[in-house]
């Protein structure tokens, strides 16, 4: 089960996030999301736990609890919604000159 972890401290590392959730069971992955341009944490991340019961206990154990000075928001991650615009160049237009 993939969990969303919000309101992370900007100083929380992926290792720290993994250690925190391992208290409730096996962790397959723990990822803090970083801004591509600045390299700074965006203040949220994802933890994947293979066992659904352990993941549910982690949600109950960490939601509204403090980690590194911040109260976490933890819930089951929702599927990523498609973004409009057709990708990097937007609207399906892939650059180059436009001919009429």
**Domain span at 20:** 2-76
What is the predicted pLDDT for the residue at 25? 98
What is the predicted pLDDT for the residue at 10? 96
| Residue 86 maps to a domain | no
How far, rounded to the nearest angstrom, does the alpha carbon of residue 76 sit from its chain's CA centroid? Answer: 11
CATH of the domain at 22: 3.30.70.330
Contact assessment for residue 58 and residue 25, using Cβ atoms and an 8 Å cutoff: yes
What is the predicted pLDDT for the residue at 57? 98
- pLDDT tens readout for residues 35-45: 999 999 999 99
Residues of the chain with pLDDT under 50: 93-98, 100
What is the predicted pLDDT for the residue at 80? 80
Q: How many domains does the chain have?
A: 1
Kindly state the DSSP code that residue 77 receives in the 8-state scheme: P
- Token match 């001919």: residue? 99
Neighbours of 81 (CB within 10 A): 6
Neighbours of 80 (CB within 10 A): 6
Torsion from C-alpha of 87, 88, 94, 95, nearest 10 degrees: 160
Tokens at 99, concatenated: 């001919």
| Residue 70 maps to a domain | yes
């Amino acid at each position: 089960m993939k969990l969303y972890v919000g309101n992370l401290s900007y100083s929380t590392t992926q290792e720290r996030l993994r250690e925190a959730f391992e208290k409730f069971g096996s962790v397959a992955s723990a990822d803090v999301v970083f801004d591509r341009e600045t390299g700074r944490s965006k203040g949220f991340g994802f933890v994947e736990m293979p066992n659904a019961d352990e993941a549910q206990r982690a949600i109950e154990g960490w939601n509204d609890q403090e980690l590194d000075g911040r109260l976490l928001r933890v819930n089951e991650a929702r599927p990523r919604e498609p973004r409009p615009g057709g990708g990097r160049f937007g609207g399906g237009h892939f650059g180059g000159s436009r001919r009429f």
